[in-house]
Chain A
Amino acid sequence: MLKKLFLLSVLLLGPLYVAAEVVLTASTDKTALTLDDEITLTVQLSGVTGNIVMPQLPSLPAFNVYSRETEQSVINNQAVYLFRYTMLPRFVGQAEIGPVKFTYKNQTYKTDPITIRIYRDPQSVPVKQHAKGAPVTKLEIDPGLPPLEADLLRQSYAQSGAPFFLIAAVSDSTPYVNESFQLAVRFYYSQAFYDAPYKKPTVSNIFMEELGQTDGTQKIGNTLYRYNEQRYQLIAPAAGPATIGPASITYQTGRSALSAFDRLFGGAAVSEEHTQTSKPITLLVKDLPPGKPNSFYGAVGDNYSLSAQVTPRNVEVGEAINVAVTVKGDGSLKSSQDLSLPAVDGFKVYPAASTSGDLPVKNGIPQSYKTFKSVFVPAASGIYILPSIKWSYFSPKTKQYKTLLTQPVQLTVTPSTKTENVYNFSPNSPAGGGFQTLGSDIHYLKTSYAPTSNILARCSQYGIVNVIALILVAIMVFFASIGKKSLAQKKAYTQAKTRLKKATNGQAIADTLSHYLQQKLKISTGSLPLKDVAAALSRKGVTPATVQQFSALWQKLDTARFAPEAWGAQNALELRQQARLLLKQLEDETK
Chain B
Amino acid sequence: MKRRILFLLFSVCWLPLAAQDILSPAEEAYRQGRFSQALGLYETALKNHPNDPFVYYNIGNCYFKMGSKGLAAANYYRAFRLAPRDKDIRHNLSLVLASSGDRFIPAGVPTVLHQAFYSLSYDELRGLTSIVFWCFCVLLIGWLLKRKGFRLVVLSAFVLALCAGWLYWRHTLQQTPLAVVAVPVAEIRSGPGTNFPASANLTQGHLVIIEDGKDNWQEVIVQSQGVKGWIEQSALEKI
Do A and B pair up? The answer is yes
User: What bracket does the count of chain B residues touching chain A fall in?
Assistant: 35 or more
Nearest chain B residue, comparing its CB with the CB of A455: B127
Interface residues of B in 38-87 (CB under 8 A from A): 45, 49, 52-55, 57-58, 61, 64-65, 67, 82-83
Q: Are A448 and B20 in contact (CB under 8 A)?
A: yes
Q: Contact flags (1/0) for A440-466 with B, using CB distance below 8 Å? A: 111111111110011111111111011
Q: Are B144 and A480 in contact (CB under 8 A)?
A: yes
In the assembled complex, A294 has its CB within 8 A of some CB on chain B: yes
Known pairs A385-B33, A457-B123; A472 contacts B141 (CB<8 A) = yes
Q: Contact flags (1/0) for B4-44 with A, using CB distance below 8 Å?
A: 00000000000000011001000100100100000000000
- Report if A448-B54 is in contact (Cβ < 8 Å); known contacts: A385-B33, A440-B95, A476-B144: yes
- The CA-CA distance from A472 to B134 in the complex, in Å, is 11
Compute how far the CA of A223 lies from the CA of B126 in the bound complex, rounded to whole angstroms. 104
Cβ 8 A contact of B127, one of A345, A456, A469, A476? A456
Q: How far is the CA of A476 from the CA of B136 in the complex (A)?
A: 13
- Among candidates A450, A457, A469, residue contacting B133 with C-beta atoms closer than 8 Å: A469
- Contact across chains for A453 and B123 when beta carbons are under 8 A apart: yes
Considering the chains assembled together, what is the distance between the CA atoms of A463 and B129 in angstroms? 11
Partner of A448, one of B23, B61, B83: B23
CB–CB B54/A476 < 8 A: no
How far apart are the CA atoms of A294 and B203 in the complex, in Å?
14
What's the Cα separation between A454 and B131 when bound, in Å?
A: 14
CB–CB A465/B134 < 8 A: yes
Please name the residue on chain A nearest to B91 by beta carbon. Answer: A443
Give 1 or 0 for each of A379-408: 1 = CB within 8 Å of chain B CB.
Answer: 000010101000000000000000000000
Kindly state the separation between the CA atoms of A477 and B137 in the bound complex, as whole angstroms: 11
Q: Does B156 contact A (CB under 8 A)?
A: no
Residue in contact with A449 in the complex, picked from B49, B125, B128, B131, CB distance below 8 Å: B49
Q: Which of B74-125 contact A (CB under 8 A)?
A: 82-83, 88, 91-92, 95-96, 120-121, 123-125
| A8 close to B (CB within 8 Å) | no
Taking the complex as formed, is B235 at the interface, i.e. its CB lies under 8 A from any CB of chain A? no
| A473 interfacial by beta-carbon distance below 8 Å | yes
A470 interface residue (CB < 8 Å to B): yes
With A385-B33, A466-B130, A466-B134 given, is the CB distance from A445 to B144 under 8 Å?
no
Q: Is the CB of B130 within 8 A of A459?
A: yes
**In the complex, how many angstroms separate the beta carbon of A388 from the nearest chain B beta carbon?**
12
Which of B19, B30, B53, B67 is A445 in contact with, Cβ under 8 Å?
A: B30
Give Cα A475–Cα B136 distance, bound, in whole angstroms. Answer: 15
Residue from B33, B64, B65, B88 within 8 A of A446 (CB atoms): B88
C-alpha spacing A380/B57, complex, angstroms: 23
Contact with B23, one of A447, A457, A480 (Cβ below 8 angstroms): A447
In A423-447, which residues have CB < 8 Å from any B CB? 440-447
Which residue in B130, B134, B141 is a CB contact (below 8 Å) of A460? B130
Q: How far apart are the CA atoms of A447 and B38 in the complex, in Å?
A: 12
Other-chain contact of A450, B61, B83, B138 (Cβ < 8 Å): B83
With contacts A443-B92, A469-B134, A476-B141 taken as known, whether A456 is within 8 angstroms of B124 at the C-beta atoms is: yes
Q: Is the CB of B137 within 8 A of A472?
A: yes
* Cα A164 to Cα B140 with chains together (Å): 118
Specify which chain A residues have a CB less than 8 angstroms from the CB of B141 in the assembled complex: 472-473, 476
- Expressed in whole angstroms, the minimum distance between the Cβ of A413 and any Cβ of chain B is 14
Distance from A300 Cβ to chain B, minimum over Cβ atoms (Å): 24
Taking CB atoms and an 8 Å cut-off, the chain A residues in 288-326 that contact chain B are 294
CB neighbours (8 Å) of A480 from chain B are 144-145
**Which chain A residues numbered 88 to 123 have a C-beta less than 8 Å away from chain B?**
none
A442 adjacent to B145 (CB under 8 Å): no
| A residues 355-397 in Cβ contact with B at 8 Å | 383, 385, 387
Instruction: Point out the residues of chain A lying under 8 angstroms from B96, CB to CB.
Output: 442
Interface residues of A in 246-272 (CB under 8 A from B): none
A458's contact among B20, B67, B82, B127, by CB below 8 Å, is which? Answer: B127
**Is B184 part of the binding interface, using a Cβ–Cβ cutoff of 8 Å?**
yes
B101 vs chain A, min Cβ distance (A): 15
Cα separation A249 to B184 with both chains bound (whole Å): 56
Please give the distance in Å from B33's CB to the nearest CB on chain A.
7
Name the A residues within 8 Å of B83 (CB-CB).
Answer: 450
Inter-chain contacts of A454 with B (CB < 8 A): 124
**A445 touching B27 by the CB < 8 A rule?**
yes
Q: Which residue of A lies closest to B131 (CB)?
A: A459
The reply to whether A446 and B58 contact each other, CB–CB distance below 8 Å, is: yes
The docked-state distance in angstroms from the alpha carbon of A476 to that of B137 is 10
For B145, the chain A residues whose CB sits under 8 A away are: 476, 480
Residues of B within 8 A of A460 (CB): 123-127, 130
Chain A nearest CB, measured from B38 CB (Å): 8
Closest to A457 in B: B123
B131 with A446: CB separation less than 8 A: no
Interface centre among B23, B58, B144 (most CB of A within 10 A): B144
B77 vs chain A, min Cβ distance (A): 14
Would A449 and B54 be within 8 Å (CB), given that A385-B33, A440-B95, A473-B140 are in contact?
Answer: yes
A383 to B32, CA, bound (A): 9
Taking CB atoms, residues of chain A closer than 8 Å to B123 are 453, 456-457, 460
B91 touches A459 (CB 8 A): no
Complex formed: what's the CA distance from A156 to B132 in Å?
A: 102
Partner of B130 from A345, A387, A448, A462 at Cβ < 8 Å: A462
Q: Are A383 and B27 interface neighbours, CB within 8 A?
A: no
Known A443-B88, A448-B20, A460-B126; contact A470-B58, beta-carbon cutoff 8 A: no
Provide the residues of chain A in CB contact with B23, threshold 8 Å.
Answer: 447-449
Complex CA gap A32/B199 in Å reads 81
- A-chain residues with CB within 8 Å of residue B126 when the two chains form the complex: 457, 459-460
Residues of B with C-beta under 8 A to A448? 20, 23, 54
Q: B57: which A residues are within 8 A, CB to CB?
A: 445-446
Given the interface pairs A445-B58, A448-B54, A462-B130, the reply to whether A477 lies near B121 with Cβ below 8 Å is: no
B144:A465 contact, CB within 8 angstroms: no
User: How near does chain A come to B193, taking the closest CB pair, in angstroms?
Assistant: 17
Let me know if A459 and B127 touch, CB within 8 A: yes
Chain A positions within 8 Å of B95 at CB level: 440-442
In the bound assembly, the distance between CA atoms of A449 and B45 in angstroms comes to 9
Docked CA distance A551–B92 (Å): 84
Cα distance A447–B41 when bound, in Å?
Answer: 13
B20 touches A450 (CB 8 A): no
Residues of A within 8 A of B52 (CB): 449-450
| Beta-carbon nearest neighbor of B53 in chain A | A450
**When chains A and B are docked, how far (Å) is the Cα of A460 from the Cα of B138?**
18
A163 vs chain B, min Cβ distance (A): 63
C-alpha spacing A450/B121, complex, angstroms: 13
Q: B30 CB to closest chain A CB, in angstroms?
A: 6
9 other contacts beyond A442-B95, A443-B88, A453-B123, with CB at 8 A cut-off?
Answer: A385-B33, A441-B95, A448-B54, A449-B55, A459-B128, A465-B130, A472-B137, A473-B140, A473-B141
23 contacts between A and B (CB under 8 A): A383-B33, A387-B67, A442-B96, A444-B88, A445-B30, A446-B54, A446-B58, A447-B27, A448-B20, A449-B20, A449-B52, A449-B55, A450-B52, A458-B127, A459-B130, A460-B125, A462-B130, A463-B130, A465-B134, A466-B130, A473-B144, A476-B144, A480-B145
Q: Which 3 pairs from chain A and chain B are nearest by CB? A: A459-B127, A460-B126, A446-B54
